[in-house]
Amino acid sequence: MKKHRVALWLLKVAAVCFILFVIIGPLIGVVLWSFAIKWYWPHIIPQVMGVRYWMDVFHRGRVLDSILLSLEIASIVVVLSLVIAAPAAYGFSRYKLPLEKFLLVIFLMPQAFPQLPIFINIAAVFARHSLTGNMWGIIFVHTMASLVFSVWIITATFRSIPEELEQAALNLGASRFKTFFTITLPLAIPGLIASAIFVFLWSMGEFTGAFFIGAPYIQTAPVMMYTAAMGYNMQTASVVALILMIPSIAFMIIIEKYLKAEYIGGLGG
C-alpha cells in the first residue's frame, strides 16, 4: 500500500514537472536567447551572454520604431473599437432587435475562420482603395477583427446592469441621454476596460493582418519579430517578444480584477 502511494506521488510530481516544462520551457529559451551573444550546439546554455541585443533594440531606430508603431496602432484600434462597439452593444442588451442572434454571430466571423485566407482577401480589397502599405489599413483591419471582443464583452456588461436602475431614473425625469451617461456608463466601466485590454493585446500581437496589409512599408513589432526570426536573428526576435509580453502580463492582472464573473456569464446570453 505504501509503495502504491509513493508511486502515485512520484507520478503526480512527474506530471507537474512535465506541465511546467511545456509552459515555462519555451519562455526560458526566449529569455536565454535574448541574452545570448554566442550559443552553439551542443551547449545547453549560451557560451557568452550579455545585453548587447537589448541595447541594439533600443538604439537601432528600426526595431524601436516598430514597437512604438504597434503601440500607436493598438491604442487607435482600442478607441475606434469602443466607439463602434459601445452603441451596438447597448442596443443588443436593451432592445429586441431583428435577427439579434444572427447579428451577434456576424461579429464572430473574422475569428471563426482561418485568418490567412481572410486577410489575403481583405488585402486585395484594400489594395484597390490605397489602404495597403500604410498604417491606417492595419488599423481598419484590426478594428474589424477586434469587434468580436469588444461587442460581446460590452454587451455582456450592459446586460449585467439591472435595467430597473435606468427605469427609475427615467421615472424621476432624467432623459435617456443623461441616464446613460450618469448611471449606465459608469457601471459599465469595468467591462469597457476589460474589452479595451483584450482589443489592445490582440492588436499588439496580431501578425497576419499586419503582414499582408502593411507590407512592404509598414512593420509592426510582430512582423519585425517574424522577420528577425526568419533571418536567424533569434536574439533580436527574443528581445522583441519579451518586450511585447510586458503589457500582456500587466493587463492580465487588470483583467483579473475588472472582468467579473457576471460579465463572463452574460457572454452567451
Residues 183 and 85 in one domain: yes
* pLDDT number for residue 230: 75
Residues 188 and 127 in one domain: yes
Residues 124 and 211 in one domain: yes
Q: Walk along the chain (269 residues) in steps of 10 and give the mean pLDDT of each run.
A: 69 78 78 84 82 78 82 93 89 74 66 73 84 89 86 86 85 84 86 87 88 84 81 81 81 66 47
CATH of the domain at 243: 1.10.3720.10
Residues 151 and 229 in one domain: yes
Residues 45 and 148 in one domain: no
**What are the contacts of 115-122 at 24+ separation with CB within 8 A?**
115/208, 115/209, 116/208, 119/208, 119/209, 119/211, 119/212, 119/213, 120/212, 122/209, 122/212, 122/213
Residues 147 and 213 in one domain: yes
Residue ending a domain, among 49, 67, 86, is: 49
Question: Number of C-alpha atoms within 13 angstroms, CB side, residue 201?
Answer: 18
Per residue, the 3-state secondary structure of 109-159, as one string, reads HHHHCCHHHHHHHHHHHHHHCCCCCCHHHHHHHHHHHHHHHHHHHHHHHHH
Residues 45 and 69 in one domain: no
* pLDDT number for residue 73: 93
Residues 138 and 103 in one domain: yes
Number of domains in the chain: 2
- Domain residues for the domain of 172 are 54-268
* pLDDT number for residue 160: 85
Cell of 5: 502511494
Task: Single out the residue of 210, 249, 198 nearest to residue 78, CA to CA.
Answer: 198
Residue ending a domain, among 33, 49, 65, is: 49
CB 218 within 8 A of CB 104: no
* pLDDT number for residue 104: 65
Residues 136 and 66 in one domain: yes
Residues 250 and 157 in one domain: yes
Residues 145 and 174 in one domain: yes
Residues 107 and 224 in one domain: yes
